[in-house]
């Protein structure tokens, strides 16, 4: 049973023969549901019960011209893309229509291929506008319990785990790549805990030299070292009754790891230059983007400390695991920095949004945030394009990174058929690899996400000499 087209096109023209021709051509070429009417008044009446995505309308009509119809449609739904058709002598009216919000215009007579391309682009525009509207509505929700932005399953699962961990007082190790929001995760745990009303203390472990880090963490007594002219409480005492986050704990020197182990085991610290210990009531959270198991194997991280920290573990998902959240995140950062820099009316172009979706974000959410920040600050226009998001060398490679498809540089040495086959093979290989990466090597899941039968997906894998097991990630 064939699927009913989800796209709707309304064609308005007083020439009945042209209406029937356009309906036949566009329904087939654009895979859409088409309604036809012979006047602007009929179009307005139909809009009350049937919402189109695109309207294709003539300008010169007897009861209501295309400009008046455009004005009515814009008042009802600004997200409907309107394409106007114009005959010789009415080009000025078409230009006026563009100024008044029309998406494009076609001059009669036109060929089927060109009108189909324009209508397909209009459908894409409407879809983008409606997706943006949905994103704006999501961002307006005020009942968000955490600082995280997104709706993907991996993120929801992480938030649920963070919420449950907040209800305990256990030590938690937060793992994940750079830029995945480990500090935000720590704040979420802290806010959900009974200690949430107190300030959480964050220590950036690699930012301080070993001697200074020790005195900052545990404090010191007067005379403990040159320049210690008074007693000083350390950060563990400052965090009493609250939470301390040891950010990037993998970089703590081995000599300090022993003292940190004592804090976790005995709940007490020993300030520098002091012989007695001090009891502390503090919850310890730690984060790292490094492979602690490998560091232990090299003798760079104590096993007993690892197991004390690893009472509870949460791993924050990378942006490649929550790709569907990229538009929402991009819009969130766009609104944030547009407000900060007083640049109201900033928008992401369709190409820019697609560029963000296709890129490989090695720096995860932080890298995406920095790109949007820079674009809002530096672009002279209110519309952000791919050129505003990428460095010159990245533009040469294209927005899609490893997923991109380029015409071979040797195309002029091939026939059209050979060059086309080369491009299709190149695209297919990269598409399959991206699908398998996202599904962690699960062929059935990758096939479903690609809208293909499993057998057809496997045939393509064999043709491109791709092994699914190469994309399976094994936990350490």
Q: In this predicted structure, what is the pLDDT of residue 374?
A: 93
Co-location of 377 and 251 in the same domain: no
* pTM recorded for the entire structure: 0.62
pLDDT in tens, 255-270: 899 889 989 999 998 8
Whether the per-residue pLDDT at 387 is higher than 60: the answer is: yes
In a domain, 159, yes or no: yes
In a domain, 385, yes or no: yes
Q: In this predicted structure, what is the pLDDT of residue 475?
A: 40
Which residues does 289 contact at the CB level (< 8 Å), separation at least 6? 175, 176, 177, 178, 180, 182, 248, 250
Contact status, residue 312 vs residue 161, Cβ threshold 8 Å: no
CA dist 282 to 240, 246, 275, 303, Å? Answer: 5, 12, 21, 22
Q: Is 304 or 328 the better-scoring residue by pLDDT?
A: 304
Domain end, chosen from 260, 285, 317, is at 317
What is the number of structural domains in the chain? Answer: 4
Co-location of 234 and 275 in the same domain: yes
Co-location of 98 and 221 in the same domain: no
Whether the per-residue pLDDT at 142 is higher than 50: the answer is: no
In a domain, 145, yes or no: no
Whether the per-residue pLDDT at 193 is higher than 70: the answer is: yes
CATH code at 287?
A: 3.40.50.300
Co-location of 180 and 217 in the same domain: yes
- Of the chain, the percentage scoring pLDDT greater than 90 comes to 43
In a domain, 126, yes or no: yes
Residue 281, φ and ψ in degrees, nearest 5: -105, 95
pLDDT in tens, 393-410: 665 555 544 434 444 444
Whether the per-residue pLDDT at 296 is higher than 60: the answer is: yes
Confidence of residue 313 (pLDDT cuts 50, 70, 90): very high
Co-location of 307 and 452 in the same domain: no
pLDDT in tens, 445-456: 888 888 888 888
Co-location of 213 and 172 in the same domain: yes
CA–CA dist 279, 269 (Å, integer): 7
Domain holding 347, by residue range, is 320-403
Average predicted confidence (pLDDT) for the chain: 85
Confidence of residue 304 (pLDDT cuts 50, 70, 90): very high
Domain end, chosen from 317, 349, 368, is at 317
For residue 255 the two structure tokens come to 């000599």
CATH code at 67?
A: 3.40.50.2300
Average pLDDT of the residues in 272-284:
89
Average pLDDT of the residues in 148-175:
92
Confidence of residue 27 (pLDDT cuts 50, 70, 90): very high
Whether the per-residue pLDDT at 173 is higher than 90: the answer is: yes
Co-location of 168 and 299 in the same domain: yes
CATH code at 360?
A: 1.10.8.60
Co-location of 283 and 208 in the same domain: yes
Co-location of 169 and 282 in the same domain: yes
Confidence of residue 25 (pLDDT cuts 50, 70, 90): very high
Contact status, residue 313 vs residue 173, Cβ threshold 8 Å: yes
In a domain, 307, yes or no: yes
Co-location of 396 and 420 in the same domain: no
Contact status, residue 343 vs residue 376, Cβ threshold 8 Å: yes
In a domain, 147, yes or no: no
In a domain, 62, yes or no: yes
Q: In this predicted structure, what is the pLDDT of residue 208?
A: 86
In a domain, 452, yes or no: yes
Confidence of residue 126 (pLDDT cuts 50, 70, 90): confident
Q: In this predicted structure, what is the pLDDT of residue 397?
A: 56
CA–CA dist 58, 97 (Å, integer): 11
Of the listed ranges 44-58, 91-105, 411-425, the one predicted with least confidence: 411-425
- The length of the chain is 476
User: What are 66-73's contacts with CB under 8 Å, separation 24+?
Assistant: 66/12, 66/40, 66/93, 66/97, 67/93, 67/96, 67/97, 67/100, 68/40, 69/12, 69/40, 69/43, 69/44, 70/97, 70/100, 70/101, 70/102, 71/100, 72/40, 72/44, 73/47
Co-location of 331 and 296 in the same domain: no
pLDDT in tens, 228-259: 788 888 899 999 999 999 999 999 998 899 88
Whether the per-residue pLDDT at 134 is higher than 80: the answer is: no
Co-location of 206 and 233 in the same domain: yes
Domain end, chosen from 300, 317, 334, is at 317
Average pLDDT of the residues in 118-133:
83
């Amino acid at each position: 049973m064939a699927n009913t087209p989800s796209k709707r096109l309304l064609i308005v023209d007083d020439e009945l023969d042209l209406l029937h021709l356009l309906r036949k051509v566009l329904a087939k070429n654009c895979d859409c549901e088409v309604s036809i009417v012979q006047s602007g008044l009929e179009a307005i009446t139909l809009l009350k019960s049937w919402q189109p995505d695109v309207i294709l309308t003539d300008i010169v009509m007897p009861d209501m011209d295309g400009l008046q119809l455009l004005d009515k449609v814009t008042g009802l739904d600004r997200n409907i893309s309107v394409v106007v058709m114009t005959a010789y002598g009415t080009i000025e009216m078409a230009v006026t229509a563009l100024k008044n919000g029309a998406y494009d215009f076609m001059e009669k007579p036109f060929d089927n291929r060109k009108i189909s391309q324009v209508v397909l682009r209009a459908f894409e525009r409407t879809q983008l506008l409606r997706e943006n509207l949905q994103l704006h509505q999501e961002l307006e929700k005020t009942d968000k319990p955490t600082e995280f932005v997104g709706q993907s399953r991996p993120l929801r699962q992480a938030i649920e785990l963070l919420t449950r961990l907040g209800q305990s007082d256990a030590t938690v190790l937060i793992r994940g790549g750079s830029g995945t929001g480990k500090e935000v995760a720590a704040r979420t745990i802290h806010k959900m805990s009974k200690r949430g009303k107190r300030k959480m203390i964050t220590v950036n472990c690699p930012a301080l030299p070993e001697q200074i880090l020790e005195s900052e963490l545990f404090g010191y007594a007067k005379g403990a070292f040159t320049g210690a002219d008074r007693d000083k409480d350390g950060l563990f005492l400052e965090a009493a009754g609250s939470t301390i986050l040891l950010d990037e704990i993998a970089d703590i020197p081995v000599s300090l790891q022993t003292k940190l182990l004592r804090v976790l085991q005995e709940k007490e610290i020993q300030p520098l230059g002091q012989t007695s210990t001090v009891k502390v009531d503090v919850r310890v959270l730690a984060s790292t983007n490094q492979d602690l198991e490998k560091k232990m194997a090299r003798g760079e991280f104590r096993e007993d400390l690892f197991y004390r920290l690893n009472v509870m573990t949460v791993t924050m998902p990378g942006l490649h695991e929550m790709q569907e959240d990229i538009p929402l995140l991009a819009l969130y950062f766009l609104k944030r920095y547009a407000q900060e820099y007083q640049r109201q009316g900033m928008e992401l172009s369709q190409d820019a949004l697609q560029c963000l979706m296709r890129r490989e974000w090695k720096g995860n959410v932080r890298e995406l945030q920095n790109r949007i920040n820079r674009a809002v600050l530096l672009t002279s226009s209110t519309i952000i394009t791919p050129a505003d998001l990428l460095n010159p060398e990245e533009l040469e490679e294209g927005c899609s990174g490893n997923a991109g498809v380029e015409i071979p540089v040797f195309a002029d040495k091939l026939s059209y058929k050979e060059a086309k086959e080369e491009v299709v093979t190149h695209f297919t290989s990269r598409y399959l690899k991206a699908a398998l990466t996202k599904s962690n090597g699960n062929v059935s899941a990758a096939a479903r996400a690609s809208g293909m039968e499993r057998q057809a997906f496997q045939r393509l894998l064999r043709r491109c000499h791709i092994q699914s097991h190469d994309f399976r990630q094994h936990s350490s």
